[in-house]
Amino acid sequence: MTTQRLDLSQPLSVPQPDTLEPPSGIIIERVQPEIDGGRYPAKRVAGDILEVSADIFKDGHDTIAAVVKYRRKDADDWQEAEMRHVDNDRWVGHFLLTDNTRCVYTIEAFPDRWATWQDEVEKKFDAGQDVALELREGRLILKDALSRASGDDRDALAAAIAVVDNDGNQATTVRILLAPEVEAAMRRARSRRGGKVYDRELEVVVDRLAARYAAWYEMFPRSAGTDPTRGATFAEASQRLPVIAGMGFDVVYLTPIHPIGRAFRKGKNNTIGAGPDDPGVPYGIGSEEGGHDAIEPGLGTLEDFRAFVAAAAALGMEVALDVAFQASPDHLWAKEHPEWFTIRPDGTIHYAENPPKKYQDIYPLNFDTLAWRELWLELRRVILFWVAQGVKTFRVDNPHTKSIVFWEWLIADVQHDHPEVIFLSEAFTRPKVMKALAKAGFTQSYTYFTWRNFKSELEAYFTELTQSEMTEYYRGNLFPNTHDILPFILQEGGRPAFKMRFALAATLSSVYGIYSSYELGENTPVPGREEYLNSEKYEHKVWDWDRPGNIIPYITRINAIRRAHPALHRYDNLRFYPSDDENITAYGKATADGEDRVLIVVNLDPFDAHETWLHLPLAEWGLEPDEPFQVEDLLSGETHLWHAHQHIRLDPHDEPARLYAVRPIRRVSYVEGCG
Amino acid sequence: MTTQRLDLSQPLSVPQPDTLEPPSGIIIERVQPEIDGGRYPAKRVAGDILEVSADIFKDGHDTIAAVVKYRRKDADDWQEAEMRHVDNDRWVGHFLLTDNTRCVYTIEAFPDRWATWQDEVEKKFDAGQDVALELREGRLILKDALSRASGDDRDALAAAIAVVDNDGNQATTVRILLAPEVEAAMRRARSRRGGKVYDRELEVVVDRLAARYAAWYEMFPRSAGTDPTRGATFAEASQRLPVIAGMGFDVVYLTPIHPIGRAFRKGKNNTIGAGPDDPGVPYGIGSEEGGHDAIEPGLGTLEDFRAFVAAAAALGMEVALDVAFQASPDHLWAKEHPEWFTIRPDGTIHYAENPPKKYQDIYPLNFDTLAWRELWLELRRVILFWVAQGVKTFRVDNPHTKSIVFWEWLIADVQHDHPEVIFLSEAFTRPKVMKALAKAGFTQSYTYFTWRNFKSELEAYFTELTQSEMTEYYRGNLFPNTHDILPFILQEGGRPAFKMRFALAATLSSVYGIYSSYELGENTPVPGREEYLNSEKYEHKVWDWDRPGNIIPYITRINAIRRAHPALHRYDNLRFYPSDDENITAYGKATADGEDRVLIVVNLDPFDAHETWLHLPLAEWGLEPDEPFQVEDLLSGETHLWHAHQHIRLDPHDEPARLYAVRPIRRVSYVEGCG
């Protein structure tokens, strides 16, 4: 047993053979947010306050102090925010995320010798003990701090030392040393000896607000025209923009706008062998007219696209593009870079399959290729090309069939220079894969909302999305329909179901979207399937945008309510409330200060009226248990007087969902002044 | 944007600029056991099977495979155990922990190309598609594997390749390639290309069985004699060993046996100013007769101690020593190494305080000393000295007032050469500090059991201890009393309470202990306090070990039941069952194979009888919902026929606790054979 053995010893990270100080006794653990041991960043938006908490303690009885250290990821200088002890060795600190960037944070904790001393001397003095020796010990701590103090603090500490040196009345000396000014000066000048910095630097992606709060409208631009003999151009599609903006949408998401391959092109309703007038599926990207950085000629030119983007921007909307990283057999990639695909033993490129189904019109990229670096760079080039055209939002098609580490790299790399860029993951797959994509960097994610119709499954799923660790990295963008999915509930429930599912999407999450024709209540399926008959995927269509039975006024109203209520701009503030009927779900959202509070009650049965008692959390709302309160029905404009246990009836043929603003009744004093 | 940017890029651990292969798409996360991201080891005992589980998946649709890799920490060669997919991307694997040592484990996962191919070709062939090209692709995978195959596997793969080359009947070729023998050979010869090893190596401390399963008996050896005028010697104390062994104890734990200081020695009942005959507190360690490596002369010599250890060993027991790392003012450390203590401004050593209380007879060590290395080495020397005397178990006094990193180093260091050594943490402090000590390496820990008396608090606490992550690193050694703690329930509940609390301690955990005189029902307190009047801490006593009302037969019986039932040797198998009465708790323990199953029902009220319905989990026990079963009352020997909903009455003045062996009734067939 030699000293050597001690120094090299066991795999403690702590004993440093060349330091004089003993290893710190501070333990910092269970830091939040911290995803998978810091492997992945948390997500917030600019303007948020980040709360960092941790278990922090040390052996023995010393008082400790702790600070959150934080900085922009691209900066070197740390800032600090004091943490405070909450309970049971749990500490918490906060800082403001000012900019759309990435930030790094960690924790430093250390013994607080002055606080320990204060506590000791106070107890002894109160017990009538002589504290002469303790005062000399306090003087040593003050003296040590003096070298770090400046300005007024320096004066305060020097004065305190002089009082001890003066050796006057002990009670007076104690009182002066325990004064708040000395305490404040000591906090600023305190030693961090014996302290420890948490051994991980954690990251938070600070997105812009639209990452969390936006209403999306998906459209096939070619179906936005009026001529049934051909697809619409961007110029024609831009005529639709004022209507879309008028409904209150923030993002216009376009299915792929690139040239469509001819080889194995599909006809109407996914038939094999397209006719000469069949426009093809926009996801079969690439022809002799170009690939992922080109515009389908039927839509117009790159200039036309830029004009479309500008027209949207003038209406306060942005344009999101669909990123489908796959190729038609006619794509230039297939000719110039066959090594980016899977080559079969007969030399052909492996087309997409889901055995026994075959998709000869699509070549998937092979992310296992040895030429992966060139492939990754080309795909990044595509994204940056569109960023250069003013696109700041991308909806990524089937990201789970591509390499997750590729996405992790791509998103971080693009956001390094363009932190404003938003990526939406369109993965409908196994839960852990969907979570992995979100952790890897996707700003938003599709969810199972599309198929969650009943009370218990909805409440369980949204509790997980918004109240579990998922809320740190996964932002569910709720779509009641997509161009690929016409859920049975919309097929069978008709107009009441369209209203009900819209109200849910727009209020359960702060970010949601619909696929166009939703506002028209279009719900003709391929029989027995959750797919649209005569889908726009395979043809260009002309729509009657004012068709009877549409829910455009409803959508417009709910989007206006969303804008007016900041409670609906937050994601993790969703809370469910008990109701007695299995068809009726009730939930609320509020701003952190409680100033804005919205209560939503939805009848999930699109066929029949139901009624129930609601049980509302008055204490949580700052109300007395028996206190009545006002609710304003945000759809009807009516005001009601409500109670903790409130009866409600919802007829889906009238209003399947009710949105209420909750307001305490002003407690007016009827005792007039005498003035 | 250059290739350089890609290679150096973001803090992905993945893209390696100098490898040809793309970064692996495998994700391995939520590995269990893994404590604080692998910062601390899990704990098991030799003979346990370690189950390792994780979420494992990759992008895309490839089938994957995974193995647990494991090795002794002091060895280099990894062994492997195949993992299997359970559900929802959760995988599990197992390996046997054979030796009392430390082991390291991690996970490797990789695409299973052959399994992916099998799946694809099977679906296509079943759908009647031509699979000629797929067979050629299969041949490539076989050929690649051939180079890694040996023996019969090599032959099997070569034969499969030859079948493809032979280009005969496709159905036959498919059948042969999909045969189990080819699958088995491919599993052994498969490529791990595209795979990933989990980025942490995790550790498990494999203790000997006594770490988990033992009954402790604490005693002051000086009070084991018959002469009231002086303390007993080891020789006299060893007369007690057959009695202790007869009660069924495994460990005899001695309070400190070292020379006791004279300075500021305490008299009877903790009075200031000891008389010349007061023996002093054994925790005031160190006098001119020696320190932590010496024997109090009143007890005898080191040889006497070794004889005591040998006498215990001959009875199947081991001796545990009390480690109190502090010094009396007379300790040699205080004279030769004042730098190991806290020196005050007047040059004196800081004695122990809990302001305003003062403990002038104790000098705490200062773990913040700059001479920490010398101090750590000296303390290790003390432990190793006693290990050399045959001591393998240490009960550590107040470890939370010493440096936790010191303990982490000390325990790992001692166990490196002496893996059999067991450390029990006597920390009664805040929950997170108690957990931190266990994580840092303590084999066993004291618990709040001593003060958990009522049903809901008992069940909540033991669910946390045995069913949460705590069970991975924290083994609660339950003491219903200690020399410092005579709980109110024992003071007020008398003999029924002593029986009840004993039964709880001996069955809620596989490891427990009592402080001597418990078997006598000694419960005279310092009035109003949870302390013993005339405590052995301050005097030597002479006991009547057969005194009326003792519960020695009860203790003996329950320890015998513990020995006979392997279900009670496990710790994490505790399960509570519902009972309707708030005074009655019911719980069970079973071996993994269900062969041994013990049900315990305890009336927690020491004053009055209570009766209740029990609701027993028959499905969990492998019984039909309405199936009756036998229970053997292990205290009375009676057998009963019971049902899922069973009524029971417990009178604390008769038996406050019932222990039952649960046995399915043998289903005898009354239809005789015709032989």
pLDDT averaged per 10 residues in sequence order, chain A, 675 residues: 36 49 94 96 98 97 96 96 97 98 98 97 96 96 96 96 94 96 95 95 98 98 95 98 98 98 95 92 97 98 98 98 98 97 96 92 96 95 98 98 96 97 97 98 98 98 98 98 98 98 98 98 97 96 96 98 98 98 98 96 98 96 90 96 96 98 69 47
pLDDT in tens, B507-522: 999 999 999 999 999 9
Instruction: Evaluate whether A105 touches A70 at the Cβ level (below 8 Å).
Output: yes
Q: A137 at the B interface (CB within 8 A)?
A: yes
A432 — phi, psi (to 5°)? -70, -30
Residue B35 CA, chain-centre distance (Å), reads 14
Residues of B in Cβ contact (< 8 Å) with A124: 355-356
CB within 8 Å of B514: residues ≥ 6 apart = B216, B217, B218, B479, B480, B481, B502, B505, B555
Task: Give the other-Cβ count within 10 Å of B566's Cβ.
Answer: 18
Half-sphere exposure of residue A551: CA atoms within 13 angstroms, side-chain side: 25
- What one-character DSSP code corresponds to residue A191? -
Quote the CA–CA distance of A198 and A352 in Å, as a whole number: 48
Does the distance separating the beta carbons of A14 and B409 come in below 8 Å? yes
A487 φ, ψ (degrees, to nearest 5) = -60, 150
**CA separation for the pair B615, B644 (Å, rounded):** 6
Tell whether the model's pLDDT for residue B268 goes beyond 60: yes
Q: Which residues of A26-65 are buried (b: 16+ CB within 10 A; e: fewer)?
A: bbbbebbbbbebbbbbbbbbbebebebbbbbbbbbebbbb
Asked if B57 and B104 touch (Cβ cutoff 8 Å), the reply is: no
Residue whose tokens read 């409330």: A577
CB contact under 8 Å between B377 and A29, yes or no, is no
**Interface ipTM:** 0.93
Both structure tokens of A330: 């006619």
- How many angstroms away from the CA of B59 is the closest CA of chain A? 5
Domain ranges of chain B: 14-111+203-207, 113-189, 209-324+372-569, 575-664
Side-chain-facing half-sphere of A654: CA atoms under 13 Å: 8
List, in order, residues 6 or more apart from A114 with CB less than 8 Å away. A138, A141, A145, A183, A186, A187, A190
What gap in Å lies between CA B278 and CA B262, rounded to an integer?
A: 10
Where residue B19 falls among pLDDT bands split at 50, 70, 90?
A: low
What distance in Å separates the CA atoms of residue B651 and residue B603, rounded to the nearest whole number?
Answer: 8
Of B479, B497, B485, give the one whose Cα is nearest residue B525: B485
Compute the distance between CA of residue A465 and CA of residue B308 in angstroms, rounded to an integer: 63
Q: Record the pTM.
A: 0.94
Eight-state DSSP code of residue A616: -
In the numeric block, the tokens 């994509």 are attached to A437
Strand partners, B430: none
Between CA A516 and CA A80 the distance in angstroms is 48
Task: Please indicate if any CB of chain A lies within 8 Å of the CB of B577.
Answer: no
Active site residue A397: yes
Calculate how close chain B gets to A337, using CA atoms only, in Å.
Answer: 17
Give the Cα separation of B173 and B176 in Å (integer): 5
H/E element holding A119? helix A113-126
**Identity of the residue in A123, A140, A367 whose CB atom sits nearest the CB atom of B355:** A123
Question: Would you state the pLDDT for residue B579?
Answer: 98
DSSP A575: E
B392 and B209 Cβ atoms separated by less than 8 Å: no
Is residue B276 within 8 Å of residue B584, measured between CB atoms?
no
- Min CA distance, A26 vs chain B (Å)? 9
Q: Is A436 in contact with B57 (Cβ distance < 8 A)? A: yes
Pick left, alpha or beta for residue B166 (phi over 0 → left; psi -120 to 50 → alpha; otherwise beta).
Answer: alpha
Tokens at B189, concatenated: 């010869």
Confidence (pLDDT) at B545 = 97
Please give the class, per CATH, of domain B113-189. mainly alpha
Query: In 3-state terms, chain B is what percent helix, strand and coil (to 5)?
Result: 35, 25, 40
pLDDT in tens, A503-527: 999 999 999 999 999 999 999 999 9
Contact A6 B381 (CB under 8 A): no
Residue B15, pLDDT > 80, answer: no
- Tell me which amino acid residue A661 is: A
Chain B residues near residue A24 by CB distance under 8 angstroms: 405
Instruction: Provide the CA A59 distance to its chain's centre, in angstroms.
Output: 38
Annotation marks residue B420 as catalytic: no
- Of B597, B602, B573, B590, whose CA–CA distance to B662 is shortest? B597
Architecture of domain A575-664: Sandwich (2.60)
Specify the pLDDT at position A669: 47
Residue of A426, A519, A536, A539 with catalytic role = A426
Question: Is B123's Cβ below 8 Å from some Cβ in A?
Answer: yes
Share of chain B above pLDDT 70, in %: 96
Nearest to B55 by CA among B198, B187, B202: B198
Give the whole-angstrom CA distance, residue B306 versus residue B389.
Answer: 7
Residue A22 to residue B346, Cβ atoms within 8 A: no
Q: Is A397 helix (H, G, I), strand (E, B) or coil?
A: strand
CATH number for B14-111+203-207: choose from 3.40.50.300, 3.40.640.10, 1.10.1370.20, 2.60.40.10. Answer: 2.60.40.10
Q: Which fold has domain A209-324+372-569?
A: TIM Barrel (3.20.20)
> What amino acid occupies position A221?
P
Q: Which amino acid is at A153?
A: D
Within 354-373 of B, beta carbons closer than 8 Å to A belong to: 355-356, 367-370, 372-373
Question: Is residue A356 reached through a cis peptide bond, with omega within 30 degrees of 0 on the bond before it?
Answer: yes
Return the number of CB contacts < 8 Å for A and B: 195
Share of chain B above pLDDT 90, in %: 93
Q: B639-642 and B575-577 as β-strands: parallel, antiparallel, unpaired?
A: unpaired
Interface contact A133-B10, CB threshold 8 A: no
Give the pLDDT confidence of B289-338 residue by residue, as tens digits: 999 999 999 999 999 999 999 999 999 999 999 999 999 999 999 999 99
d(CA B293, CA A262): 90
B143: which 2 tokens?
């050929």
- Tell me which residue in B59, B384, B430 faces A404 most closely, judged by beta carbons: B59
Nearest to A137 by CA among A172, A108, A173, A90: A173
pLDDT of residue B625: 87
The active-site residue, picked from B426, B539, B581, B596, is B426
Question: How confident is the model over B205-234, as a mean pLDDT?
Answer: 97
Same-fold call for A14-111+203-207 versus A575-664: yes
Q: How confident is the model at residue B20 (pLDDT cuts 50, 70, 90)?
A: confident
Sequence-ordered list of residues with C-beta below 8 angstroms from that of A653, at least 6 positions apart, any chain: A496, A609
Q: Give dist(CA A584, CA A605) in Å, integer.
A: 8
pLDDT above 70 (res B6): no
How far apart (Å, rounded) are the C-alpha atoms in residues B446 and B54? 31
Give the CA diameter of chain A. Answer: 105
SS3 assignment, position B306 = helix
How many Å apart are CA B555 and CA A27, to the nearest integer?
A: 41
Please give the structure tokens belonging to residue B317.
């027991």
Angle between helices B132-146 and B170-177 (to 10 degrees): 40
Asked if A640 and A633 count as a contact pair (C-beta separation under 8 A), the reply is yes
Nearest-angstrom CA–CA distance, B345 and A143: 14
Yes or no, beta carbons of B345 and A133 under 8 Å apart: yes
**Inter-chain touch A22–B355, beta carbons under 8 Å:** no
Contact list, A88 vs chain B (CB under 8 Å): 430-432
Which amino acid is located at B653 in the chain?
Answer: H
Q: What angle do CA B235, B238, B244 make, to 5 degrees?
A: 170
Contact B182, B176 (CB under 8 A): yes
Strands (E), B501-543: 511-515
If we measure between CA atoms, which residue out of A510, A500, A639 comes closest to residue A566? A510
Cα gap A640→A631, rounded to integer Å: 5
What confidence category does residue B675 fall into, taking pLDDT thresholds of 50, 70 and 90? very low
Tokens 């009220």 correspond to: B605
Which tokens is A602 given? Answer: 């939805």
CA-nearest residue to A25 within chain B is B403
d(CA B146, CA A96): 60
Q: Per-residue pLDDT tens for A407-444? A: 999 999 999 999 999 999 999 999 999 999 999 999 99
Nearest-angstrom CA–CA distance, B367 and B328: 17
Cβ contact, residue pair A377, B22, below 8 Å: no
Residue B279 CA: distances (Å) to CA of A499, B305, B439: 86, 19, 37
